[in-house]
Amino acid sequence: MSETTLLSARGVSLSFGAIQALVGVDADLWPGEVLAIVGESGSGKTTLLNVLSGRAAPGTGAVWYRTPDGQLLDVHTMPAPALRRLHRSDWGFVHQDPRQNLRMGVTAGGNVGERLMAQGSRHYGHIRDAARDWLVQTEIDPKRIDDLPRTFSGGMLQRLQIARTLVTHPRLVFMDEPTGGLDVSVQARLLDLIRSLVARFGIAVVLVTHDIAVARLLAHRTMVMQGGRVVETGLTDQVLDDPQHAYTQLLVSSVLNA
Amino acid sequence: MNNAMLRTEGLCKAFMLHLQGGVRIPVLSQIDLDLHAGECVALVGPSGAGKSTLMRSLYGNYRADVGRILIRHGGSMVDLATADPRVIIAVRRQTMGYVSQFLRVVPRVSALDIVAEAAMARMHTLATARGAAAALLTRLNIPARLHALPPATFSGGEQQRVNLARGFIGGHPILLLDEPTAALDPANRAVVVALIREAKARGIAIVGIFHDAEIRDAVADRLFAVTPWQDAA
């Protein structure tokens, strides 16, 4: 078990005018760990994800990332090109809407290969082989490699986004409601795919979801947010089966059992 | 007493129900339980006394309010009541298995892989783990033609047997069994009794809840009474 965190946040606060989006949030993520951030709309979970990944700057507080060679980088003071490089190599980001990440005018294979090229790969044959391999890993028929994403279903687009994200073997992936807006059957397939890929490659994940069943299936630890604050955090099954905070009890008791 | 595999000291647990006006329901009071290698301790007490709550607390699924839950893990004792979540995960992977009353079905994962996954902590290749999983499922009378199917459509008894295979295959030094035979017919109950006896012979320490007195008598070395909270004080 590693004693050093991959990502740490301390005292992160952020206000939008009079609205306190984040209030004194601390968070830690260890290598290979899946951390879920749950809470209702407006609780600050997506804002926190954006601050953790350097996409939004906090008002106060800091976020550090530890590189593979042990260097600590302050995510919000590092030069912008270095942060972009991090997003292209060590990190990945999976959006709820895959269109935010995919280039709709580029073929499926091109979408996956592009991230490898951004990392410096130049050999066309290798790039195409890697793209085909990742289409297969994400259960997309490799015959579709030269098709445009606009001909794909919603579930396929989400899987293509995951292929594009994982092709560079990131150590840390941020996911914002990756199964939101999908049919239940499509959602189950995607969850199982994420679960097995994350375990196989030992990827650390910060996962934002409003669906506590998703947290239970994927996350080792869960943080519960309400009004920009972390009200409870711990082992996922402990937080969900023995919730201590009034808001977590409400969240857990509000779920319908199918 | 120093070689206990599991020991609780003054364990107390209450539930605070914030949504019911902050009602506090005390369940466990001052539980001191010792468990040694190769023995099976059966929790007994009336329904509602807190047997399952104790079991879930031992597994770290419920949070202890007061007291310690000491587990022999990798040569030292760790206190699950205060352990970091990552330590609890490591304890569950290597040291302590749990068979719940109901299988939590994961979409699309086959019965074979649900069991093989639990064996992977101990076996080095997926092929070996799957071989062992198939053998144990077959022993629990899950026919080979069902192994490749996700258990969502299985009967209650079949799901329970998949759950049992998942619990027993890990070879954890400590095993917690919550009503392992509730949904089983006599032939399968006999298989479970045999599995428990073999596990004890290998030195595995077991805590169980067995409503079936016949099963309890067949496997338990000791009874541990869990008394309703009102009587305990």
Q: Is residue B69 part of a domain?
A: no
- Give yes or no for residue A19 having a pLDDT over 70: yes
- Give yes or no for residue A131 having a pLDDT over 90: yes
Residue B208: its pLDDT value, please? 97
Looking at beta carbons, which residues of chain A come within 8 Å of B17?
A: 249
Q: Residue A238 is nearest to which of B17, B63, B106, comparing CB atoms?
A: B63
Residue with tokens 């301790």: B41
Number of domains in chain B: 1
Q: Does domain A7-90+172-256 bear CATH number 3.40.50.300?
A: yes
Pairing of strands B34-35, B6-17: antiparallel
Share of chain A above pLDDT 90, in %: 81
Q: How confident is the model at residue A40 (pLDDT cuts 50, 70, 90)?
A: confident
Nearest CA among B120, B117, B116, B158 for reference residue B134: B116
pLDDT digits (tens, 9 = 90+) for A148-168: 999 999 999 999 999 999 999
What is the DSSP secondary-structure string of chain B?
-TT-SEEEEEEEEEEEEGGGTSEEEEEEEEE--EE-TT-EEEEE--TTSSHHHHHHHHTTSS--SEEEEEEEETTEEEETTT--HHHHHHHHHHTEEEE-SS--PPTT--HHHHHHHHHTTT-SSHHHHHHHHHHHHHHTT--HHHHTS-GGGS-HHHHHHHHHHHHHHT--SEEEEESTTTT--HHHHHHHHHHHHHHHHTT-EEEEE---HHHHHHH-SEEEE---HHHH-
Residue B233: its pLDDT value, please? 45
Please give the Cα distance from B111 to B163 (Å, whole number).
Answer: 9
Chain B contact present for A255, CB below 8 A: no
Say whether A52 sits in a helix, a strand or coil: helix
Residue B123: its pLDDT value, please? 79
- Give yes or no for residue B121 having a pLDDT over 90: no
- Give yes or no for residue A44 having a pLDDT over 60: yes
Minimal C-alpha gap between B217 and chain A (Å): 31
Minimal C-alpha gap between B63 and chain A (Å): 7
Instruction: Indicate the angle between helix axes A124-137 and A154-166, nearest 10 degrees.
Output: 130
In sequence order, what are the residues at sequence separation of 6 or more whose Cβ sits closer than 8 angstroms to the Cβ of residue A135?
A108, A109, A112, A141, A142, A144, A145, A160, A163
Q: Is residue B27 part of a domain?
A: no
Dihedral sign for Cα A77, A79, A81, A85, please: negative
What stretches of A53-144 show up as alpha helix (H) in DSSP?
80-88, 108-118, 124-137
- Give yes or no for residue A188 having a pLDDT over 90: no
* Closest chain B residue to A34, measured at CA: B86
Q: Residue A237 is nearest to which of B15, B61, B90, comparing CB atoms?
A: B61
Q: What is the mean pLDDT of residues B135-160?
A: 94
Residue A41: its pLDDT value, please? 87
Looking at beta carbons, which residues of chain B come within 8 Å of A255?
A: none
* Closest chain A residue to B58, measured at CA: A238
Q: Which residues of B sit within 8 Å Cβ distance of A?
A: 15-19, 56, 60-63, 85-90, 106-109
Q: What CATH number does the domain containing B102 carry?
A: 3.40.50.300
The one-letter amino acid at B165: A
Please give the Cα distance from B125 to B120 (Å, whole number).
Answer: 7
Chain B contact present for A99, CB below 8 A: no
Q: Is residue B115 part of a domain?
A: yes
Q: Are B86 and A249 within 8 A, CB to CB?
A: no
Q: How confident is the model at residue B172 (pLDDT cuts 50, 70, 90)?
A: very high
Minimal C-alpha gap between B85 and chain A (Å): 5
Looking at beta carbons, which residues of chain B come within 8 Å of A250?
A: 18-19
Q: Is residue B78 part of a domain?
A: no
Q: Is residue B89 part of a domain?
A: no
Lowest mean pLDDT among A99-108, B17-26, B114-123, B201-210: B114-123
Q: Are A221 and B88 within 8 A, CB to CB?
A: no
What is the DSSP secondary-structure string of A9-40?
EEEEEEEETTEEEEEEEEEEE-TT-EEEEE--
Chain B contact present for A250, CB below 8 A: yes
Q: Are A249 and B17 within 8 A, CB to CB?
A: yes
Size of interface A-B (CB pairs under 8 A): 52
pLDDT digits (tens, 9 = 90+) for A199-231: 889 999 999 999 999 999 999 999 999 999 999
Q: How confident is the model at residue A122 (pLDDT cuts 50, 70, 90)?
A: confident
Share of chain B above pLDDT 70, in %: 97
* Closest chain B residue to A5, measured at CA: B86
Pairing of strands A221-226, A229-235: antiparallel
Q: What is the mean pLDDT of residues A237-252?
A: 95
Provide the residue ranges of all domains of chain A, joining segments of one domain with +: 7-90+172-256, 104-169
Q: Are A192 and B106 within 8 A, CB to CB?
A: yes
Rounded to 5°, angle at Cα B112 from B109 and B118: 85
Q: Are A192 and B109 within 8 A, CB to CB?
A: yes
Q: How confident is the model at residue A257 (pLDDT cuts 50, 70, 90)?
A: low
Minimal C-alpha gap between A200 and chain B (Å): 12
- Give yes or no for residue A20 having a pLDDT over 80: yes
Q: Is residue B139 part of a domain?
A: yes
- Give yes or no for residue A132 having a pLDDT over 60: yes
For the beta carbon of residue A155, count every other beta carbon within 10 angstroms: 20
Nearest CA among B69, B90, B65 for reference residue B80: B69
As a whole number, the mean pLDDT across chain B is 92
* Closest chain B residue to A254, measured at CA: B19
- Give yes or no for residue B37 having a pLDDT over 60: yes
Please give the Cα distance from A31 to A4 (Å, whole number).
Answer: 8
Q: Residue A220 is nearest to which of B19, B85, B108, comparing CB atoms?
A: B85
Pairing of strands B66-73, B76-79: antiparallel
In sequence order, what are the residues at sequence separation of 6 or more whose Cβ sits closer than 8 angstroms to the Cβ of residue A186?
A153, A154, A155
How deeply is A147 buried, as exposed, middle or buried, from its count of CB atoms within 10 A (0-12, 13-18, 19+)? middle
Residue with tokens 């064996």: B119
Lowest mean pLDDT among A53-62, B52-61, B94-103, B184-193: B94-103
Q: What is the mean pLDDT of residues A35-52?
A: 95
Interface of A with B in 43-72 (CB under 8 A): none
Q: Are B86 and A250 within 8 A, CB to CB?
A: no
Q: Are B109 and A244 within 8 A, CB to CB?
A: no
Looking at beta carbons, which residues of chain B come within 8 Å of A244?
A: 16, 63
Q: How confident is the model at residue B27 (pLDDT cuts 50, 70, 90)?
A: very high
Residue B232: its pLDDT value, please? 46
State the ipTM, two decimals: 0.91
Q: What is the mean pLDDT of residues B28-55?
A: 95
Residue A114: its pLDDT value, please? 92
- Give yes or no for residue B231 having a pLDDT over 80: no
As a whole number, the mean pLDDT across chain A is 93
Q: Is residue B67 part of a domain?
A: no
The CA–CA distances, whole Å, from B16 to A35, A245, A256, B19, B20 equal 26, 9, 22, 9, 9
Nearest CA among A16, A8, A7 for reference residue A170: A7
